[in-house]
Amino acid sequence: MSKKLIPTADLIRTQLRLMRVNAELSQEEYGKLAHFSASMVSAVELGQRPLDAVYLARADKIFKTGNLFVSLLLLAERDGEPIWFRPWLDAERVAKQLRCFEPNLIPGLLQTPAYARAILRGADDTRTEEEVESLVAARMARQAILTQEHPPQFVAVVEETALRRFANGYEKVMAEQLLHLLNMAERPHIHVHVLPSNVGLHAGLSGPFVLSRSEEGGWVGHLENQLGGSVVDRTEDVEALLGKWESVRNVALPDGQSLDLIKEIVRPWM
């Protein structure tokens, strides 16, 4: 019988506690060294508070473990994502520029927990609550790239129909999501453009895609479908996606008009 694998996050918490105990530090003493309260240290070790890069960076410094715990956090974030999606995460994390076209949903990097939870439940009604929450946590963890010290430029084109899904009892969730979208778009490196419904036929009708440009200047893409997704790195395929991106971006509304339309859509639901 095969042994059940321990989630990376649980492994991190176990090792944090073990190293603290081996160093003969109480939670209060360790908290003073790391500039956290004893209750915070306890909550992290018990799994009552999510792990984050700041907390683990201080642990690495105190225990002289290099970048070990911070690196393990990246693995923990991958645990919650489907295997087919993990190759794209590496490109996303090192991106200097991100371009996203989404005809049906709010892009994952701009989703609220409640919206993500509704989408993930709707996509597969056989998922357990634990599986859904694991996927939601992983998606929220991905969003840290947009709030880090040197975030990538993120430009999203979203079809208007994706902003008007207020039916089936999700009015509050959708309103909260659109307000969050407006708040995120206030950041100088985040740009949201709406592709209005009256555009008709356009280059993005074949489906959503994302493009990532690394610091070295190379682009890679990601395509998602009903059964999973795939990373696109062949030169001719990437060039085709860049061409599609230019086409959908050109028919989308400018920043200001896009945000005005989002405000108009959400206003009756506030």
Cα 56 from Cα 71, distance rounded (Å)? 9
Q: Where are the domains of the chain?
A: 8-78, 83-269
The model carries a pTM of 0.71
Q: What is the pLDDT of residue 63?
A: 94
Return the CATH fold of 8-78.
Answer: 434 Repressor (Amino-terminal Domain) (1.10.260)
Give, in order, the Cα–Cα distances in Å from 124 to each of 58, 85, 165, 188.
Answer: 39, 16, 18, 35
**pLDDT value for 85:** 60
Specify the pLDDT at position 73. 77
Low-confidence ranges of the chain (pLDDT < 50): 1-5
Residue 252 is predicted with a pLDDT of 97
Domains 8-78 and 83-269 share a fold: no
pLDDT recorded at residue 146: 93
Stated as kind and residue range, the H or E segment containing 258 is helix 255-266
| pLDDT of 138 | 83
φ and ψ of 98, to 5 deg: -130, 135
Element (H, E) at 264: helix 255-266
Supply the pLDDT for residue 1: 36
CATH code for the domain defined by 83-269:
3.30.870
